[in-house]
Amino acid sequence: MAQANNNSPLTQALARFADPAADPVRLLAALVAAVRPRRADDADEARGRFGLLLTQLEAEPELRRQVRAHFTALLASRRLTSFFADSGILPATGFFTELWRLVAKRLLPELPDEREFRDAMRSIFNRPRDWEWLDSLDRAELLRFWRCIAPGDGIGETERRQLVDDLLDAALLLAYRVGGLGIERELAPLAPTFRDFTARFLAVARETQVFVDGYRAHLDDPSAPVEDERQLVVIIDQCQDVLKRAHRIARTVGTSTHLTYLMTRAGQSLDRLEAVVSLLGARFRGEARDAALAGWTAIAHDTLQAESRRDSVRAHIAGGLGLLALRVTDNAAQTGEHYIASNRAEYWAMWRSAAGAGLIIAGMALLKVFLGKVDASLAGTALLYSLDYGIGFVLIYLLHLTVATKQPAMTAQTLVGQLGEVSRGRIARLDEMAELIGAVVRTQIAAILGNVTVALPTAMALCWGMSLWLGQPAVGIEKATHLLEDLDPLGLALPHAAIAGVFLFFSGVLSGYFDNKARIERFGARVARIGWLRRLLGEHRAGRFGEYMESRLGGIMGNLLFGFMLGSTGTVGAILGWPIDIRHIAFASANLGFALVAFDFALPWQTVATAAAGVALIGLVNLGVSFSLALWMALRARQVSMDGRQVKALAGALWRRWRSQPLRFIGAPPRTIER
């Protein structure tokens, strides 16, 4: 490993530790500045600089003693309770209150509390992106660093006791925070099965109090029995299982954003409590120092990263989006399973479903052409277009038909659920994952072909029939020319298709939101209690209608609002003077059919080929944008990440499957498929 020269910033920063009267915060801040890479995302430079620091500390005992002395002085002069109990855990104030604090801090900076270790760490790691390079450091090398500078015999008994007391206080704070969830009224909708287990949260607080009291009693009187932390760890694990069960129940009965926030915060607190009590318990186990250092390394790494991100508005908003994603994606994941054809019968069922949607879409496209002739204001035109799209999509949904571009927002959630297994090292599931991806691809192709191959000829037949009935062209030459221009892939067709892709993603989010809302608010039971509805239908039928509406509210609202997004975009663009509009593959294919009929099928083949290419590319952009956004949201919600080795292994499995059986990615699967 390369050696630092005598004039390097690292050597100069380390040399300042020779002054025993120097401020440890300033010294450590200068040391971090010397190790910090020039770019926060440059992992190689960060590891290289950190390696040089380790080399010098391990090679020079006197230098190591000086750095340890200043770090010990820092620990002895600061309170650590909030560092352990709050850093890296969602604040109790809530999302928007915390966001306002971050914005206000930009205008009027906060004053650091010099008595708090947490504030000292924020002064030392004072760049907003320090967490990036900290995350790239190897845990084994971090353990070597803390082994070099961790207090040993140099810390006085009074200071050592204060450090332990701060850890014990942090454990109590975390435990009582978790215990409060046991009496949280928001848990009521999560079914009696979950409420029966909320006593375990209260047990965490009680058992932690027993552990802390016993620990302090032993510190005061070494002859008192040592309170073992293993019983407490068992209860913590049980509470973590309860939270997992709560999330599963929430997929069925729904959950509010506040409860999602509470459960996420409780899970973080449980993880931290387990780390803190394990660190405290290491004192009484064999190899106590090594065990304590390992525990400290894990906690310090997580908390330092969290403190580095604490004042980042971007990180806070990203975390909030993650909570929102967690709330709405589980429902989409379950829905997504219905959009994947795993056998031949399901494949052709998907094709028929998409073909039925193609019939309706052709009618919607022609109706939009006629609505464009209505002499209405901009707002009136937007409303008419929105109703055409919205009612049409709702009808397609209620008839259990399929719009191809609606699939990615749902199937992405299912894929991420399987990717989570691969990312946790279950490489044996790669073949299963490759089969799932193949099923998603072929199902998507079936839906696209079903929409397009039916919408195109149906649109031509409708246009021709309406022309005969009206005695004049249903779509004039001027309108047909405009429709062809809208399909030009070298014009604005693809940006407009990307806008439609964004709306497709949002429609999936809205469907998940309203499905969740219907369950948590018990929408069906409340509808069944409407007086006039009960008088009209009778009590039994009103109840069945309420159940029907509850099960379909998400789909109805998602499709209706998606229609309003599509129908109003062009008008909003006209009002603002922006060249924005939408392009959707199924409607684009119908519009191509109208243009062919309007020109009496006498268009040059180059024009037809360009328009056909435009339709194909519009579909590709629709699907690509909506799938990418849905995949991003699902990955954030489930906190799934894959390293290069796992990505390479998955790509290899896909390539082997494609090379051996390419038709599984394109056409109907064979009558029997080995899973």
Q: Answer for the pair 131, 48: CB distance below 8 angstroms, yes or no.
A: no
CATH number given to 327-665: 1.20.1080.10
Q: What is the pLDDT of residue 427?
A: 47
**Residue 431: per-residue pLDDT:** 66
What token pair was written down for 48?
């290289």
Secondary structure class of 471 (helix, strand, coil): coil
Strand partners for 116: 79
Give every CB contact of residue 591 below 8 A, 6+ residues apart in sequence.
365, 459, 483, 486, 487
Residue 646 phi, psi (nearest 5): -70, -40
Say if CB 292 and CB 283 are below 8 A apart: yes
The angle that helices 230-253 and 199-220 make with each other, rounded to 10 degrees, is 160
C-alpha 68/C-alpha 151 separation (Å) is 6
CA distance 348 to 450: 10
582: helix, strand or coil: coil
Question: What is the three-class DSSP state of 224?
Answer: coil
The CA–CA distances, whole Å, from 336 to 253, 417, 520 equal 18, 11, 21
Q: What is the value of pTM for the model shown?
A: 0.66
In total, the chain counts a number of residues equal to 675
- C-alpha 271/C-alpha 84 separation (Å) is 11
Block residue for tokens 């020109």: 599
pLDDT digits (tens, 9 = 90+) for 2-23: 455 566 888 888 888 888 888 8
Residue 248: CB atoms within 10 A of its CB come to 12
**Among candidates 361, 362, 368, which has minimal Cα distance to 387?**
368
Q: How far apart are the first and last CA of the chain?
A: 50
CA distance 266 to 250: 16
The backbone torsions φ and ψ at residue 55, rounded to the nearest 5 degrees and listed phi first, read -60, -45
Q: Can you give the pLDDT at residue 84?
A: 85
Q: Collect contacts of 650-654 with beta carbons under 8 A, ≥24 apart.
A: 650/422, 650/430, 650/433, 650/434, 653/430, 653/431, 653/433, 653/434, 654/434, 654/437, 654/438
User: Of all helices (H) and strands (E), which one includes residue 627?
Assistant: helix 605-638
Stretches in the chain below the pLDDT threshold 70: 1-7, 93-96, 98-99, 105, 152-155, 182-198, 250-258, 284-291, 308-342, 406-433, 634-647, 650, 663-665, 667-675
pLDDT at 657: 72
Burial of residue 389, with CB atoms counted within 10 A of its CB: 0-12 exposed, 13-18 middle, 19 or more buried: buried
pLDDT for the residue 385 = 93
* Token pair 């699902």: residue: 634
pLDDT of residue 184: 66
